Amino acid sequence: MTARVRAVARKTRETEIELKLSLDGSGRSKIATGLGFLDHMLATLTRHARFDLELSCTGDLHVDDHHTSEDCALALGQALDGALGDRRGIVRFGSAHAPLDEALARAVVDLSGRPFPRIELELKREAIGAWASENITHFFQSLATAGRMALHVDVLEGLNDHHKIEAAFKATALALRQAVAHDGTDEVPSEKGVLG
């Protein structure tokens, strides 16, 4: 079996990112984005998806958190897409619910090769730490786009925005863990014979 690993280097006038992703890991992460809550959520995603992730980002946080948030998601999605290759022999679909105390989130993934995000987090606070709530939603949208997947994430219950977001990341991780798993074949999981 070919190692499903991808490294991505992304440098713009707004951010500089180095990333290495292994889909067949043990949940280890080393993450430094400059945004504490983003680091926490990426570590959570990595642990529950059972990926290994190294990610460092130097971004223009003196402007705001938008570019760091978006570009980290784009780099992660690009690495996921690259590590999947032609997506031969994967389960393709995944779905999960994850609670965190009073919060409950649902995530459904189709690694179809066709990006489509639908993200409904129902957040009330403007930011969690230094991470703007609108950019948390945008993170999921950018991940789906660059990862070439349909990604539906919604918060079904919850009062605490931290809990809602963490439940959403955990549900997404569990759904991705299912979807990237090997199905025991060497077939492209599509009647068309290709994904995309």
CATH label of the domain that carries residue 106: 3.30.230.40
Flag whether 195 is in a domain: no
> Residue 126, exposed/middle/buried by CB under 10 A (0-12, 13-18, 19+)?
exposed
Flag whether 190 is in a domain: no
User: In terms of residue numbers, what domain contains 146?
Assistant: 5-180
Chain centroid to Cα 130, Å, comes to 19
User: For residue range 30-85, what is the model confidence (pLDDT) as tens digits?
Assistant: 999 999 999 999 999 999 999 999 999 999 999 999 999 999 999 999 999 999 99
How many CB atoms are closer than 10 A to CB 12?
A: 11
Rounded Cα–Cα distance for residues 59 and 142 (Å)? 17
- Beta 52-59 vs 93-100: how paired, if at all? unpaired
Flag whether 192 is in a domain: no
> Residue 27, exposed/middle/buried by CB under 10 A (0-12, 13-18, 19+)?
middle
User: For residue range 134-178, what is the model confidence (pLDDT) as tens digits?
Assistant: 999 999 999 999 999 999 999 999 999 999 999 999 999 999 999
